[in-house]
Structure 1
Amino acid sequence: MTADKMTPQKWAFQLTHILNAYAGLDRFPVDVKAVARDFSHQKYPDDPISMVKGAALPNFDGGLYKAPPGKKGWGIVYNNDIESEGRINYTLAHEFGHYLLHRNDYPDGIECGEQDLVRWDSAYGQIEHQANVFAANLLMPLDDYRLQVDAKTKVDLDMIGSCADRYGVSLIAATLRWIEYTENKALIVVSRDGFILWARSSKAAFRAGLFIKTANRPPVAVPQNSLAGGQITSESQRVGVRLPERVWFNEVCEEMVVFSEQYDFAISVLQFDRDLNFYGNNDNLRIL
């Protein structure tokens, strides 16, 4: 099957099947450097990934670069100013996804900034979305993630942090993966300097009308009485607190928050009662 017919999920599933066959489920975190080199040399011996390294990339987190004239293949380069091993590992998987999916359409290579790696919505850019889908499925297979955190479980950030450690990814990547499959009503909200950058809802939350729109809208302020708005202590930060209605939405919720130095923003996780059944007009929501 050619690259243009393979989806991000199919590439990730193929690699997961190979890794499971050789190492089983106790094989995490994925060694992306080794997998990218070995698989590309076997699959595309005339056009492999021949280099994976860190370098000075002041405006980017990572990139996929064509080898210089006289040499064959591609190089994956990550910003060597990044200190988080989880962020580096996710960047490598993201660029590996670009190699498998997009190198023929972008023969001069692709460079990716911070937002390309942390925003997973397809509207942000189709190829970046595809690379993120590949990276998430390769590094955090859902069958294994569900064994760590059941889809009905109410989480805290220590639980998500344990998964981030298991898969060798950042806390935000692990949280986004969890929000994809949880059956609970939950949101992840990312903010900086008192304003919401973007948010993502679980399927159950979205169906209940619990979502925050930020695209093509004026800046949305973080609620003053929320943890992300400054009402935070060291005890409440990761375990969370129960907030009354009309703080985030017209419903009671639990909020946890962690301030990420590596990305310079706050990550809030909102969880709502399972029996919440909201089907009203979106104008009734606290934030849109």
Structure 2
Amino acid sequence: MARKQMSEELSPARWAFNITHILNTVLGPEHFPINVQEVAKELSLQMYRDDPITEIQGKNIPGFEGALFKDPSGQKGWAIFFNNSFQSKGRINFTLAHEFGHYLIHRVRYPNGIQCSESDLVRWDSELGQIEHQANVFAANLLMPLDDYRRQIPDNIKITMEMMDVVTQRYAVSLLAALIRWIDYTSKRAIVVVSRSGFILWAKPSKSAFSSGIFYRTASSPPIEVPANSIAARPADFDIEKAKKGMKHGPGVWFKEPSEEITVFADQYDLTISIIQFAL
């Protein structure tokens, strides 16, 4: 009973911190990228010998990203399934960590398991269900511990795509996951904007950007078009490398002040991901 209560009581960040401490002790601080399959099976067996993760398997199911179910073979324990049709290893790695988080935090409350759609893992805003948000928080903290991430990209500098390439490779995560991790701690005024077909799906500002009025309300508003003069609105005018290098805008493109935009057309998500940075 105590172990079951523990899975309920620890926060997602605390779970990730505890596992990071174990990995640092056993493997050293340079243990990246994390082999989530190996860690999930080994630690679940050590912590919950009668209820471990016994199977991790890839399946090609449209609209499906990952799932946690009781082991279908009838054995004791749990199985994690992930969509193996995606080319992005970072996307799969985050899905595995997300489902591992469900196992640690939610399996007692959801004994029949949990299935996650693409939007559950791609969207990070507060409109997510609480359990999906918690699994995302766990995955981000496990794969990209904050102290290590800050050493790669200090909180007071402007980012470039070259910097983001370094951290996505170090942690074996997608660009979107790495950007959201960065936007949560940076002291710079910046906003990550995710769009599709010329309309903003959601956006996440840094704390300093939000406090200065830089944000979009997408949850309860009519569709918001991306600015007409932005890179995001003109994919035909920018090749991939030019869009990644970015473009400076005058006032009135992204909000009412000058900005610098970097945009990535992420075909694997059918999304356009823009990073907008502002002067302090």
Which of the five TM-score ranges fits, normalised by the shorter chain? over 0.9
Q: What residue in structure 2 maps to residue 253 of structure 1?
A: 259
Higher deviation after alignment, 230-239 or 104-113: 230-239
Q: Once the two structures are superposed, what CA deviation does each residue of 1:204-243 show, in whole Å capped at 9, x if it has no partner?
A: 1011110011002111001110010115344531121110
The alpha-carbon deviation at position 94 of structure 1 amounts to: 0.2
Q: Is the 8 A contact 2:227 2:233 kept in 1?
A: yes
Q: 1:104 aligns with which of 103, 108, 125?
A: 108
Q: What residue in structure 1 maps to residue 176 of structure 2?
A: 172
The alpha-carbon deviation at position 68 of structure 1 amounts to: 3.2
Q: Is the 8 A contact 1:192 1:265 kept in 2?
A: yes
Where structure 1 has 5 or more consecutive residues not aligned to the other structure, the ranges are 275-288
Q: What residue in structure 2 maps to residue 237 of structure 1?
A: 243
- Cα pair distance change 1:19/1:244, threshold 3 Å: same
Q: Secondary structure at the match of 1:196?
A: strand
Q: 1:215 aligns with which of 198, 216, 219?
A: 219
State the one-letter code of the partner of 1:110: I
Q: Distance in 2 between matches of 1:215 and 1:70?
A: 42
Q: Once the two structures are superposed, what CA deviation does each residue of 1:70-122 show, in whole Å capped at 9, x if it has no partner?
A: 41000000012111110000000000000000011111111111111122223
Where structure 2 has 5 or more consecutive residues not aligned to the other structure, the ranges are none
Report percent identity of matched pairs.
53
Q: Secondary structure at the match of 2:64?
A: coil
Q: Distance in 2 between matches of 1:36 and 1:246?
A: 48
Q: What residue in structure 1 maps to residue 228 of structure 2?
A: 224
Q: Is 1:38 aligned to residue 36 of structure 2? A: no
* Coordinate RMSD, CA, aligned: 1.2
Q: Distance in 1 between matches of 2:195 and 2:257?
A: 21
Q: Is the 8 A contact 1:161 1:174 kept in 2?
A: no
State the one-letter code of the partner of 2:273: I
Q: Once the two structures are superposed, what CA deviation does each residue of 1:235-260 show, in whole Å capped at 9, x if it has no partner?
A: 53112111011111001000000010
Q: Is 1:271 aligned to residue 277 of structure 2? A: yes
Q: TM-score, normalised by structure 1?
A: 0.93
Q: What residue in structure 2 maps to residue 22 of structure 1?
A: 26
Q: Once the two structures are superposed, what CA deviation does each residue of 1:141-185 show, in whole Å capped at 9, x if it has no partner?
A: 010001100101101112112101100000110011110110000
Q: 1:65 aligns with which of 66, 69, 72?
A: 69
Aligned length: 274
Q: Is 1:158 aligned to residue 139 of structure 2? A: no
Q: Distance in 1 between matches of 2:241 and 2:143?
A: 31
- Cα pair distance change 1:94/1:234, threshold 3 Å: closer
Q: Is 1:262 aligned to residue 268 of structure 2? A: yes
Q: Is the 8 A contact 1:236 1:256 kept in 2?
A: no
The alpha-carbon deviation at position 123 of structure 1 amounts to: 2.8
Q: Distance in 1 between matches of 2:62 and 2:231?
A: 32
Q: Secondary structure at the match of 1:153?
A: coil
